[in-house]
Each structure stands twice: as structure tokens, then as C-alpha cells.
Amino acid sequence: MSEAEPAPTVSIDAPWNALYIDGEWITPEGRDQIDVRNPTTGESITAVPAASVEDVDRAFEAATRAQADWATTTPDERAAVVRRTADLIDEYESEIREILAVETGATKSRHDIEHGGTVTFVHDAASFAFRASGGHNQSKIPGKENIIQREPVGVVGVISPWNVPLKLSIRAVAPAIALGNSVVLKPAQESSISGGLLLARLFEEAGLPDGVLNVVPGEGSVAGDRTAAHPDCDVVAFTGSTEAGRFVGQNAIDHFAFPALELGGNNPHVVLEDADLDQAVDAGVFGTFWNQGQVCISINRHLVHESLYDEYAERLAERAAALKVGDPLDDDVVIGPIINEDQRDEMMAYIERTVEEGGTLLTGGEADGLFVEPTVIADVTNDMAAACNEHFGPVAPIIPFGDDAEAVELANATEYGLAASVHSADRGRARDVADQIEAGMVHVNDQTVNVEPHVPFGGVKDSGLGRYNGQWIIDEFTQTKWTSVQREPRQYPF
């Protein structure tokens, strides 16, 4: 193996062609290469070595060695490194924004939220070093003291997605590190830099000890599978499709690792007949078209009361048609490119099938390269292709309903249960509907794309297991230990 020279700086043009294992930037010989492409232009950005099973094993060996010492550091030492990482994300803001735009097609509206949200998440994660508290319980045995402790789980394997890569990687990496764990991170191939190697560079500059964070870009079927199945992996934090999540979860459970799975969604935006139509449309536009709809919590279905249906559909289509499509480096652009051809082809097939099934195309429906027009389809039923599948694109199927009970029935008629939103002038009524929707997160008089660092994030049904953020991720990345101390001689029955 040869070492890359030198360790990369934070820039889209930096030499990212390396794995990061045990504090070293290594370019292994004889590895397949991941061609990281700019989805806007189709040009190659760089080639990144695809980690082999042996590379992942080396990463876990390094993580296991490093974690023993890292767990003994004081909370303020761990918190300081994590806070310094947040400061660096701020210092390198312009460079990071460019990386997100060029590697993943992020428009300004996305990297505004992704950059700012990441900084907030990392600062909050730094506090976890002091928040993993235990307890002191009374005993039924005289003279006994019961001590409940929270300890790091050990090594956390993180398998992250390409759609909001920096934020969705660091929301697992930063808490794990703050709590005294080490990490092996396998980013999505399409975001090997922004979801993986960039984090290595930031934490390295922040002073994280060697081996606490290791980054192994590679194919899901090789590096991803080995990460989930590795016997030294104690928690597998995976964000991605439900299909892939089932396989990851099975690999994790086979060696009794906890699977923290944030999976797919088919999220309804419910507009009751007394809703403020201006607010409902505003929310519907943002929740559907932010990041080209490539978000697990984006609006997948618009469920609109029949009395508002025609006006809502007309206004949503008018707003969608006015959204600017183009190069995400242009600050006025709202709709950038889809990440790759496979994703584009799948969503275009859903649009075509929905129209064939009886849907009415109000606007959009065409693609130019990887740019898919904002698309609104009326006269949709819940079983049409763009409605019953997670289309993961800038597509808005609109479905009518007659009363609140039917709205709830339609909202719940899916295997997913990630997010939902409900609009009504009567907040109590909206809350009644929200309480009946089977989802891990429901937002009243808003839209589905909401994340805050101190509230639980996750879904029910086929949308995953576990919760991210706050005390919920602390619970998943630590383990409980009961220690009893007998302070007085104990009397035994024999």
C-alpha cells in the first residue's frame, strides 16, 4: 500500500483518492475505483478507492483499539473535539457548500439548511458527553447500593446515504464520538466526499485521536455488507431504503448488534376543508420540491379535501412550473439534478405509469439529462405508481378525499410510517387527525421536512427502528450497566 500525499485539505479540488484508517490517508494498490461524478455536468470529480472486505476489517481493528482509550477520556475532552469540528464546519462554509453542490447537486436552499443544520447538530452532540447519565436506586436488601451507569457501546458502524450526506452522516458520527465510541463510516458511493472523507478531514483537524473515526468508501455489497456484519460492530446506524435496511438489519442482528435503521417513507400532506389554502400550498411546494424531492421525509402524496381539490391542484401546479431548474451553483436555482440515471429512470417510470393509470399531468413530466421538471399530477388514487411507491423526486401526486376518516385511511394505506403533515384552521381537529396517522413524526400546519436536534427523529412500520437525536440517540449509542455495592455484611439464608 502507498500513502496519499499529503492529507487532503477541505476543497472540492483536494486529493480525495484515499481511505482513512487509523489516522492515515491510504491509497491501497489494486483496488477498484469509485468514479465520483458531478451530476450537473456529468464530469468526473475524482476517483476514490473502493474499500475491500480486508480494508473494512482493518478499520474495525483500528476502531476497536482506539475505542478503549477514547472511552477513558474525560467528557470535556470529547466535547472539545466535537465542538472544534462544528467550528471547522463554520470556518470552511464556502468550501463545504461547493462540495455539496458539485458532488450531489445541492441547490442553495439545500446547502443553507444542510450546512446550518449540521453545525447545530454537532454542537448539540458535544453536550452528549455530559448527558449520558445513570442513576442511584434504592435496594430491597439492607446495606446495598444500586448504581446504574451509562457506558459507550464500543464501535458504531455508520452507513450513510447520498441525499443529505454531510448532515445524515454526522448526526450519527458526532454523537457516537461524543459518547466515547469509535466509528467506522461507510458513505454512499455518490457522496464519498461529502458523506465520508470530508468528515475524516474535519475530525482529524479537530484533533480526534487516530482510529476513533475510520472512513471506508466503497460498494454497498462489499464495504457496506461487511460493516453491518462485522462481529466487532456493536451498533449499525443505517439510513437508506427499506429494502436495503432489511438486509442491513439482518446482518446486524446475526451478531447481536443493535440496528438503528432510518428507512423509506411515503409521507402524506393532508389538507382538510377548513385549511388556510395559502399556507397549505406554500408548505406543499417546499415539502415536495426541496432537494428535488430526494428526501426520506419529503411529501410523497398530497391528500386534499374534495372542496379544495381543484384550486389546490391549480395553484400547486402554477407554483411548481415557476421553480427555476438548473445548475445548483446558481443561487436562484431551486431544482438541481437528480443524483444519477437510475434514480431518474425510476421516478420517470412512476410518472409515466401514473398517467397511463388515469392521472392528469398538470405540469412537468419531462427530463433533460438528470434534470427532472417539477411535476404535478391530479386525479390520482392511492394505488397509482407515483402514490404507492416512494418516488424520491420532484413529483406531487394529488389525491382527493371526502372526510377526515377517509383522509386518515388514505394516509395510513402504506407500509411506511415516517412523517406526515396536517393542515386545518382548527388546531384541535388537526391534532385529532394527526393522532390517528401511523407515523413517527406528524406536523400540524406545516410540511413534512422538519428536523430538530433535540427531538426524536424516526418512523414506524417499514420506516425503520430506533430514533436519532437527543436522549434517544444517547440511549442507542450507550449501554446500561448495573453495579451493586454491599456496604454492610449481608445475612444469607444458608
- 233 is a catalytic site residue: no
Beta strands in 208-355 (DSSP E): 213-215, 235-239, 258-262, 267-271, 299-305
DSSP for 93-149 reads: HHHHHHHHHHHH---HHHHHHHHHHHHHHHHHHHTHHHH---EEE--SSTTEEEEEE
Of the residues 114, 204, 262, 373, only one is catalytic, namely: 262
Query: Which of 454, 406, 196, 182 is closest to 309 using CA atoms?
Result: 406
Q: Measured in Å, how far apart are the chain's first and last C-alpha atoms?
A: 64
388 is catalytic: no
Helix-then-strand count for the chain, H and E: 16, 25
Of 296, 373, 388, 390, which one is the catalytic site residue?
296
Q: How far apart are CA 381 and CA 389, in angstroms?
A: 12
**Biggest CA-to-CA distance, the chain:** 84
Per-position DSSP letters for 343-386, written without gaps between them: HHHHHHHHHHHHHHTT-EEEE---EETTEEPPEEEES--TTSHH
Instruction: Please give the Cα distance from 170 to 405 (Å, whole number).
Output: 40
What gap in Å lies between CA 59 and CA 20, rounded to an integer?
A: 8
The residues, ordered by sequence, that sit 6+ positions from 262 with a Cβ below 8 Å of its Cβ are 238, 239, 296, 457, 458, 459, 463, 464, 466, 468
Length of the chain: 494
The span from the CA of 341 to the CA of 179, in Å, is 39
Q: What residue has cell string 458523506?
A: 195
- Residue positions annotated with a catalytic role: 262, 296
